[in-house]
Amino acid sequence: TWNRFQDGKRVVDFVLAFNGHLQNDEEADRKRKIFQENLIREGLEIEPETTQRIHFIKIHVPPEVVSRYCEHMKIMMPIVKLKDQENIITEEFSIGGSLVRFFRRPMFRFVIIDRDKFRKREYRLLHEYSREKCYLFDADAPDFFTPSIRIAVAHFILERARFGLEDEKYDIGLRKLLNDQVYLDAYPLHDGSPDLPELECQRTLLLEEWASVIRWIKHQPLDHIKEYFGVKIAMYFAWLGFYTHMLISASIVGLLCFFYGLLTFRENRISQEICQDNTTVMCPTCDAKCDYWMLNDACTYSHISHIFDNNFTIVFAVFMSIWATMYLELWKRYSSDIQHRWGVTDYCLLAEPPRPQYLARLKDTKKTFFNIIVLALSAVFGIVIYRMSLMTTRNIYGNPDDATTKLLLFSGTTAVINLMVSTVLNYAYDYVAVYMTDIEYRRTQSEYNESLNLKIYLFQFINYYSSIFYIAFIKGKFPGYPAKYNRILSFRQEECSQGGCLVELCIQLAIIMVGKQVIALILEIMLPFCWQKLKEFRSVLGLATEDADNKGPGGEQLICCNQWTKDFNLLSWHDRSLFEEYLKMIIQYGFITIFVVAFPLGPLFALLNNVFETRLDAKKFLLYYKRSVPRRVRDIGIWYNVMHVLGKIAVISS
């Protein structure tokens, strides 16, 4: 009965949890009673467990209910195998397919997943499920309705079941019950536990063969990921894997550009002329604290600049412009194949019920002009932060005479301070984005999420890129000339350092990009691990606080003796969980496309980061988070459009 009802036969598909020791909460009891009665009327089978402080309502979806709602939800299901199907379906020739077959040769077997553990899915044609056309489907097969389908059906019913009287129009759905704290949590169960290796299950297999970092070179079992998590999460990992593979070619060309500059910087004619010039005196780069300087002071700058800005850089810039375009086009082809294989080609969002927050206000006041003002102010604020970081660095180090010291200390320290401030500002911008989206009163949750996601991305785009755009396109471009410097409010325009702005841009870009990735990787596994262990500690030992309403201990003491109690201690999955993963990768994509000419090693660092990112994300979803409800999507959504815009900006900026 680890994950089953007391009869040991019926599998638990979904669990509702609430504090059963709360007193004087008749309204919550009434809502739970009505809600559970309506679930039974829909055909769900429930079994309460009230042996501990946290009470659980176990839910099982019978096959006849799954069949009925599969038809209602228009789920694509595999039809029976056709006679001579192999002769009907032939694989078309394609360059991509030829490359795949080439890398499946014995010499490349080390990257192929173990087919003894992850058996290749037999290709089956898909059709929208219909009980009237039952002859098309093998519905009697024991694995026809998979656990992910049963979970999706259970969640669909829970989201639409009433918990109020007939005249209480808006008392509908599990989401509102969770918002009102009628239930503490609601979640599907993971398949087994890593603490019990004797239980052979899909979760343990994925942890060992997919989420393990030592398997970093192996392909991902995408079909099995889709069966466990659903299309939405599987599509993310499919895109991340494709993006990571595409970075290999960009990394190789970037390395060639870097090594070419490294091998030829001593023969660079411009650098030689600068280093050998002992007579040319240059004007001060600022009014107050700057002095005249000799041209050969920029010798080190020019050598370092040549490493990143050389003849091969032009080739690299052209290559990356073509790469960005090819990447998007190839992803469209690859995702189309996945959509067809997973049966989501014709999928469109079903009509969603209104959000409870929308029903409470029943108005839509979109503050578009307000949004534009806030974004513009944040862009200016980003440049101000960079200038403040630069001034702080100068106050720390003064004005050293050595040009190399200026180059490394000033640019490096400024970038580190800017990175730290930008990381902190992300949390503030999140609150601003949530507030801006809340006052729009979006009707459905999908509209709300899309609006919020776009705002957060724009804020982070400005937060991380504003200082880099300033250095690349504004700083040192309009300084004027001696005796007639361009000034704004009597302040002279900032000039680049002796060797130009490229070296400063490279250092700024390298520290912000690599530093952000390192911080994200550390937090990727540490934060979920710490929060999950803290929740488990509180749950197992309980809290010693007194609750005035309950007249008793307020702790959620819980003995983990089955799957639903084990999963209760895991972190809850929410709408923005996957958004955070996409956001990190799209910010990275901007770094390696828009500014890649200034930092040719960017694709290499992105590749190394993504290799670990894939496995750490997998481990996080399997080990530290509750199982997510499988959801259907056609593609990666708004992120494709964002990358399309970034690609155009990259071509223009190159």
Q: Identify the burial level of 235 via C-beta atoms within 10 angstroms of its C-beta, where 0-12 means exposed, 13-18 middle and 19 or more buried.
A: buried
The 3-state DSSP class for residue 161 equals coil
Lowest mean pLDDT among 9-18, 177-186, 206-215, 551-560: 551-560
* Segment among 396-405, 452-461, 571-580 with least mean pLDDT: 396-405
Which of 211-225, 289-303, 419-433, 484-498 is predicted most confidently? Answer: 211-225
Rg (CA), the chain: 29
Tell me whether strands 487-488 and 491-492 are parallel, antiparallel or unpaired. Answer: antiparallel
Q: In this model, does residue 383 exceed pLDDT 60?
A: no
The amino acid that residue 114 corresponds to is D
Average pLDDT of the segment spanning 245-265: 91
Structure tokens at 519: 């911080």
Sign of the alpha-carbon dihedral angle for 569, 573, 576, 577: positive
What are 276-289's pLDDT values in tens digits?
878 888 777 666 66
H/E segment holding residue 60: strand 54-60
Mean pLDDT is highest, among 46-50, 370-374, 634-638, for 46-50
Tokens of 601: 């090693």
From residue 282, alpha-carbon distances to 207, 279, 298 in Å are: 62, 10, 11
Helix (H, G, I), strand (E, B) or coil at 288: coil
Phi, psi of 47 (to 5 degrees): -145, 115
Three-state DSSP state, 447? helix
Write out the DSSP string of 39-65: HHHTT-EEEEE-SSSEEEEEEE--HHH
Q: What is the reported pLDDT for 577? A: 80
Environment class of 23 (CB within 10 Å of its CB; exposed 0-12, middle 13-18, buried 19+): exposed
Determine which helix (DSSP H) or strand (DSSP E) holds 203, and give its type and residue range: helix 202-209
Q: Is the pLDDT score of 235 beyond 90?
A: yes
Would you place residue 579 in the very low, low, confident or very high pLDDT band (cuts 50, 70, 90)?
confident
Comparing 331 with 97, the larger pLDDT belongs to 331
Residues paired with 54 in a beta bridge? 19
Residue 520 CB coordination number (10 Å): 18
* pLDDT of res. 358: 54
Contact in structure between 498 and 293 (CB atoms under 8 Å): yes
Q: What is the pLDDT of residue 246?
A: 92
Q: How many CB atoms lie within 10 A of CB 205?
A: 18
Q: Which residue's structure tokens are 């297999």?
A: 205
pLDDT digits (tens, 9 = 90+) for 501-526: 777 788 888 888 888 888 887 877 78
Q: Which residue carries 């024991």 as its tokens?
A: 142
Q: Is the sign of the CA dihedral 307, 310, 315, 320 positive or negative? A: positive
CA angle 415, 420, 421 (to 5 degrees): 100
pLDDT interval class at 549 (50, 70, 90): very low
Place of tokens 């932060």: 385
Cα–Cα dist 57/626, whole Å: 16
**CA dist 339 → 223, 404, 635 (Å):** 12, 54, 8
**Which tops the pLDDT comparison, 578 or 429?**
578
Which amino acid is residue 355, in one-letter code? R
Specify the residue for token string 């504003």: 466
Q: Give CA–CA dist 258/243, Å, rounded.
A: 22
pLDDT the model gives residue 104: 57
Residue 342: both structure tokens together? 């997973």
pLDDT tens digits, 23-32: 667 888 888 8
Q: How high is the mean pLDDT of the chain?
A: 78
Q: Kindly state the average pLDDT of the residues 289-300.
A: 74
- Flag whether pLDDT at 547 surpasses 60: no
What would the mean pLDDT of 335-364 be, rounded to a whole number? 66
Contact 412, 507 (CB under 8 A): yes
**Phi, psi for residue 222 in degrees, rounded to 5:** -60, -40
Q: What 3-state class would DSSP assign to 549?
A: coil
Which has the higher per-residue pLDDT, 229 or 26? 229
Q: What angle do CA 125, 73, 152 make, to 5 degrees?
A: 95
Of 238 and 89, more confident: 238
Amino acid, res. 653:
S
3-state secondary structure (DSSP) of residue 75: coil
- Structural tokens at position 520: 């994200």
Read off the DSSP letter of residue 51: S
Helix axes 411-438, 368-397, angle to 10 degrees: 160
3-state secondary structure of 479: coil
Q: Using an 8 Å Cβ cutoff, are 434 and 451 in contact? A: no
Q: Residue 570: which of 580, 578, 560 has the closest Cα?
A: 560
Which range (50-59, 64-73, 91-100, 453-462) has the least confidence? 91-100
Averaged pLDDT, 591-600: 85
**Lowest-confidence region among 355-369, 480-494, 584-598:** 355-369
When pLDDT is averaged across residues 423-449 and rounded to a whole number, the result is 76
Average the pLDDT over 240-251 and give the result.
93
Q: Is the pLDDT of residue 405 over 70?
A: no
Give me the amino acid identity at 182: V
Question: Percentage of residues in the chain with pLDDT exceeding 70?
Answer: 74
The vertex-320 CA angle with 100 and 301, nearest 5°, equals 135
Residue type, 231: V
Which residue bears the tokens 């959504």? Answer: 637
DSSP-assigned states of every residue in 564-589: HHHHHTSBPP-TTHHHHHHHHHHHHH
Higher pLDDT, 312 or 453: 312
Of 639, 642, 636, 651, nearest to 593 (Cα)?
A: 651
| Global pTM value | 0.83
- Which one, of 424, 415, 366, 357, lies nearest residue 386 by Cα? 415
Average pLDDT, integer, range 367-388: 54
Q: Is 560 exposed, middle or buried (0-12, 13-18, 19+ CB in 10 A)?
A: middle
* Element of type H or E holding 529: helix 501-541
Q: Which is nearest to 232 in space by CA: 632, 644, 637, 629?
A: 632
Say if CB 261 and CB 305 are below 8 A apart.
Answer: no
Nearest to 208 by CA among 609, 642, 525, 623: 623
**Among 116-125, 191-200, 207-216, which is the least confidently predicted range?**
191-200
- CA 643 to chain centroid, in Å, comes to 14
Nearest C-alpha neighbor of 607 from the set 524, 513, 519: 513
